[in-house]
Amino acid sequence: MEEDDQPVSPIGQYLSSSVLNVTILVVFDSTIPVDDSHAISALENIFLPLNPRFSSIMVRDEDGVQKWRKVKVKLEEHVKVPVFPQGLEKYDECLQEYITKISMEPLPFSRPLWDIHIIKYPTSSAAGNFLFRLHHALGDGFSLMAALFACLKRADDPSLQ
Contact 52, 7 (CB under 8 A): no
Contact 26, 140 (CB under 8 A): no
Cα torsion through 149, 106, 29, 72, rounded to 10: 50
Question: Is 136 annotated as catalytic?
Answer: yes
Q: Could you say which of 78, 117, 135, 136 is catalytic? A: 136
Which residues are known to be catalytic?
A: 136
